[in-house]
Structure 1
Amino acid sequence: MTKAIKLLTALPPPQRERLMALAREVAFAEDVRIFEAGESADRFWVIRSGAVSLTQRVSSLQRVTVASLGAGDLLGWSWLFPPHQWDFGAEAFSPVRAYEFDAQAVLALCEEDPALGLVLVRSVAEILAHRLETTRGRLMEQYTVHRRGPV
């Protein structure tokens, strides 16, 4: 399994500085819902501290955690792809501090600086590929355990 990529450290210093000029520091209290699946995805975050659970609703009363994110991780990628709606929900698992980025401002910056846009999209793609690989591994573990049955 490949090592998880961190968005801000993946960007070369000049592009990172340009992106960080758009950052706003925010905080979320423990148990706060940050966003829900299906809502408009108009921003994203890079977690500075704390933990966030990505969740999927499986019934009207139940959500399951599909991933846990921590310091340095990208929270939110749906802002980059139409229809710009969250695919999952997100909840602060502990108090969270993060950098928040407005999607429209970042997309405008990417249009203005295509080199930044390319490295940003490649970095997000690497993050998504890593998360998909991690999820696949978890599914295979669960399948193996359930297939074997009780020990």
Structure 2
Amino acid sequence: MTTVTSPLAGRVIGLAAVPDPVFSGSMVGPGTAVDPLPEPTVAVAPVDGIIVSLHPHAFVVVDPLGHGVLTHLGIDTVQLNGDGFELVAAKGDTVRRGDPVVRWDPAAVVRAGKSAVCPVVALEATADALSDVLMDSAVRSGDTLFNWI
């Protein structure tokens, strides 16, 4: 089992509340989403593993069981071309849960006209593979979001 923790502090709102049909419809995979606090922060690794994909607005960490967890920092933030995001890790890095990956400012994302909501998704999983999925709760960085069985 893999425990997936929150990459940042905020309020869990669930995937259905994400303002993007690809995420809200779980097309990328099941999981949940965090509406971050409106202050500069660092998104951290939600699991132990290897960063296999890294962009200013999103990253994927694959754990030792082969589970890929996507953290997407905001919605349509790829359109910001990296403005307001700073990579503090590199693709291929081995990370521990809680290690810093991307420094960013959710309030700046909102000022740019984008949503700061952050989907945290279990890639290539089915909804029944997850348990204890948080849907509505305040979280701190490192709090459990769901378990991947």
| TM-score, structure 2 as length reference | 0.29
Higher helix share: 1
| TM-score, structure 1 as length reference | 0.29
Structure of greater relative contact order (alpha carbons < 8 Å, 6+ residues apart): 2
Higher strand share: 2
Structure index of larger Rg: 1
